Amino acid sequence: MEDAGSGWTAELSSPCVTMHDVNGNDTGQVFELALHNGSSSSSSSSTKRSPQFVGVELLQSFKLLIIPCYTLVALVGVFGNYLLLYVICRTRKMHNVTNFFIGNLAFSDMLMCATCVPFTLAYAFNPHGWVFGRFMCYLVYLIQPVTVYVSVFTLTAIGVDRYYATVHPLKKRLSVLACAYLLSGIWLLSCGLVAPAVAHTYHVEFKNEGFAICEEFWMGQEKERLAYAYSTLLITYVLPLSALSISYLCISVKLRNCVVPGHHTQSQAEAQRMRKRKTFRLVSLVVAAFGICWMPISVFNVLRDIDINLIDKRYFLLIQLLCHLCAMVSSCCNPFLYAWLHDRFRAELRKMFTCRRRIGISANNCATASVVL
């Protein structure tokens, strides 16, 4: 995942600032960073403003719109995914491979909302830049993309799992142990993909000016940066979207051609058609949600990598943040697509809360402490 954009823009040129790597060591390279921040408006207002400075001002003008949107996404994403995890963990008969995949997706999405949203907003609008210190700089820039990659790969695994369950129902399903190994591999692969980006992340403090930045720089390694960016795009967007599309297309074709043997009444036939239409809508929503939510940030990153001047500097930060917000919406969609729209999950949730309410009523009637499941 690329940086979602902050209130700072940096340009490297002649020696001025010493940069430190992930271990806090001096890199041996010194660069000048020309910084632009929306909060410094004293002397710049009288001079001609650069496009970057105007871009920061434009971003600040949308602050009252962007912050509530991000907050809503974070609350819905954290609460929805937590509730999904809670139901899966508390309901023994839901302990199967498919639900373990969905639980892993819910956990990564919940972690994504908890790390991406608050730190992105604080960095984008805080006049002091990155205020969380060097350790949090590297920790957050590690966790953020790892959770994104885990979510993407888990979505792909769910699509493939459902393909085998629907199209090849007689084949041996994945065991719980194999599922555990696969999920561990997804987390390890995600960490491995993030390693190059973290290795090129730098925390720079400007103590006299009272601000700091936490950014990714590939000094003198433009070819390596482009190779990493395009390979990451291929692995985390193009291939997963293709796998999801093919898997759910095969599922839809299988369900459409499936004919239940025996004579059916008109009501039974209509019920079967309704189930098929519902399944088709669900699989279409899954593919559309993934493609639409992650397309803006993917297109933005490609344009930026090809030529940063293709994006107007006045709107660069605003577009980047809005694309990032669109990607974060996927963490809110997944609980509804994979759980809330399914009858079994809703039934388990109603049963759980009904049981909890009855226990609370009984406890109150007996003048004892209420029981929380």
Query: What is the distance between the alpha carbons of residues 209 and 207, in angstroms, rounded to a whole number?
Result: 5
The three-state DSSP-derived secondary structure of the chain is CCCCCCCCECCEEEEEEEEECCCCCEEEEEEEECCECCCCCCCHHHCCCCHHHHHHHHHHHCHHHHHHHHHHHHHHHHHHHHHHHHHHHHCHHHCCHHHHHHHHHHHHHHHHHHHHHHHHHHHHHCCCECCCHHHHHHHHHHHHHHHHHHHHHHHHHHHHHHHHHHHCCCCCCCCHHHHHHHHHHHHHHHHHHHHHHHHCEEEEEECCCCEEEEEECCCCCHHHHHHHHHHHHHHHHHHHHHHHHHHHHHHHHHHHHCCCCCCCCHHHHHHHHHHHHHHHHHHHHHHHHHHHHHHHHHHHHHHHHHCHHHCCCCCHHHHHHHHHHHHHCHHHHHHHHHHHCCHHHHHHHHHHHHHHHHHHHHHHHCCCCCCCC
Q: Domain tally for the chain?
A: 1
pLDDT digits (tens, 9 = 90+) for 62-89: 888 889 999 999 999 999 899 888 888 8
Nearest by Cα to 53 from 230, 317, 345: 317
Residue 6's alpha-carbon distances to 19, 286, 359, in angstroms, are 19, 31, 49
pLDDT at 49: 52
Q: Phi and psi (nearest 5°) for 45?
A: -65, -25
| Cβ neighbours around 274 below 10 Å, total | 10
353, part of any domain? no
Whether 361 maps to a domain, the answer reads no
Q: Residue 159 and residue 235: Cα distance in Å, rounded? A: 16
Q: What is the pLDDT of residue 18?
A: 47
d(CA 189, CA 149): 9
Range of the domain at 126: 12-259+271-344
Asked if residue 264 is part of any domain, the answer here is: no
Query: Is 2 domain-assigned?
Result: no
Q: Residue 293: inside a domain, yes or no?
A: yes
pLDDT at 95: 86
pLDDT at 194: 92
Residue 2 has which token pair?
A: 């690329």
Q: Determine, yes or no, domain membership for 185.
A: yes
CB 2 within 8 A of CB 200: no
The CATH number assigned to the domain holding 85 equals: 1.20.1070.10
The predicted structure's pLDDT at residue 37: 46
Task: Tell me which residues of the chain have a pLDDT lower than 70.
Answer: 1-55, 258-273, 275-276, 279, 340-341, 353, 355-373
Is 362 a member of any domain? no
Task: For residues 331 and 310, give the distance between their C-alpha atoms in angstroms, rounded to a whole number.
Answer: 29
- The answer as to whether 100 is a domain residue is yes
Residue 70 identity (one-letter amino acid) = Y
* C-alpha count within 13 angstroms, C-beta hemisphere, residue 8: 23
**What confidence score (pLDDT) does residue 305 get?**
81
